[in-house]
Amino acid sequence: MIPVRGYSGARVAVLGLGRSGLATARALAAGGAEALLWDDSPEARARAEAEGFALFDLTRGNAWENVAALIVSPGIPHLYPEPNRLIARAMAAGVPIDNDIGLFFRSFATPDWDEMDVTPRVVAVTGSNGKSTTTALIHHILQVAGRPTQMAGNIGRGVFDIDPPADGEVVVLELSSYQIELARALTPDIAVFTNLSPDHLDRHGGIGGYFAAKRRLFTEGAPDRAVIGMDEAEGRFLANQIAQGAADDRVIRMSSGQKLDGPGWLVFARKGFLSEWRKGRQVASIDLRDIPGLPGAHNHQNACAAYAAARCLGLAPRLIEDALRSFEGLPHRSQLVGERGGVRFVNDSKATNADSAAKALQAFERIRWIAGGLGKDGGIAALAPHFGAVAKAYLIGHSAREFALQLGDVPHEICETMERAVARAAEEAQPGETVLLAPAAASFDQYKDFEKRGEDFADRVRALIGG
């Protein structure tokens, strides 16, 4: 655990008692603060009491007297689609609003660091798609290199559940827009922006607010190095705002699918080859095409982002290449579950929207596509340019019939359940084809979350192929 610094003897309110809220409460107590805990959910309050925490009703009229700060869990909207009533009352009382990420950055460095040979560092990764894989890949590269490292944030452990860093350790954080937008301190050593596509628009008041939340990590965080994806206008804008000129190598421009030019530090993947250029000269190249844990252009973008971050940390290209080849991928993200008779079975349950499903459809040539669930606005209409790769679609869940109408001439079958979809796709698949779960929809109609959906797919595939 990392104790919270700066609030010893102070009363600090914590709103939201999920994983991050309870971890924050423990860290506040360890740092000598009096944590005042509240959640609208009786079940969440009961879990806090079971841990020995006292509850404090923040709905009371005098609740904000002598409160030094309000720490808000990332899942609680504070401004859009409408102001949260308790957060609004705290602001009216002049109580500063923060979250666990802000507390982490103000508490991470300690006087013990003066005795270390190499100061610990933080790499923070954000973006719309690929940030989990990129975070895990950076962590994996560091492990292969023998560097002490921990991974936390929106993946793995909460930021306050990690151990105090050792000499020379690198903490790799995945940070969502929810986590970045309220943090009052943001000081990563290296920050990574993978890409941007519309998501969480209600929460942020539109695409501009969503981008603004991501942008804070770079413009307010002032990292020593910034790896910026250049495949959308927002990334190009962000790189332009940070860099002092085209040759400023504090900004590493990164892309998948286009060759980047210029005198600066560039990392890009094109036709399956990753290239690093500095000062107008190529310094390294890696063939990504046969790396099983990183299929498709979207994973090549992840590889570029992780490669660039690792280079910022001083790792050699050959060592990074070896680590890329041993990376097995994350569960539910282009995860190869198994193979039978020349047919691959891939679990991309994390593809919960059309944009991420499009990347999955582009990663394979001939696909038996399992899709459906609780569809989002627009359904799968935006995926029409990628339907050519689909040999047949097997539709499940609430939006199965809606998706069927949007498939046009693409062969499809309404299967309703994962059990039937996997059985039918496996029965009809031919050698060289891929049975791909890329739902393009949320999971909540049939599953607790996308992880449970992916686990169901993987379990049924393994039962079928004997893996």
Binding site residues for ATP, as ranges?
Answer: 127-133
State whether residue 380 is helix, strand or coil.
coil
Contact 216, 186 (CB under 8 A): yes
CA 445 from chain centre, in angstroms, equals: 23
Query: 292 near 277, Cβ under 8 Å?
Result: no
Angle in degrees, CA 421, 300, 159, rounded to 5: 85
Pairing of strands 335-340, 343-347: antiparallel
If you search the block for the tokens 């895990």, which residue do you land on? Answer: 136
CA 416/CA 343 separation, integer angstroms: 23
Sheet strands (E) in 132-184? 149-153, 170-174
Residue 127's Cα: distance from chain center in Å? 7
What are the strands, taking DSSP E only, across 309-416?
A: 335-340, 343-347, 367-372, 374-375, 390-396, 412-416
Query: Whole-angstrom Cα distance, residue 339 to residue 326?
Result: 19
Q: Is there a contact between 121 and 202 (Cβ–Cβ < 8 Å)?
A: no
Neighbour order of strands in the sheet with 273-278: 149-153, 170-174, 121-126, 190-193, 225-229, 251-256, 265-270, 273-278, 281-287
**What are phi and psi for residue 9, nearest 5 degrees?**
80, -5
Annotated binding site: 127-133
CA distance 349 to 435: 12
Q: Please answer whether residues 140 and 132 qualify as being in contact, where contact means their C-beta atoms are separated by less than 8 angstroms.
A: no
Angle (CA) 314 219 310, round 5°: 15
Q: Is 14 left (phi over 0), alpha (psi -120 to 50) or beta?
A: beta
At residue 202, the 3 state secondary structure works out as helix
Q: Are 239 and 215 in contact (CB under 8 A)?
A: no
Q: Which two tokens stand for residue 291?
A: 């790396």
Distance between CA 318 and CA 278 in Å, rounded?
17
Sequence letter at residue 88? A
Of 121, 100, 118, nearest to 109 by C-alpha is 121
Amino acid identity, residue 314?
G
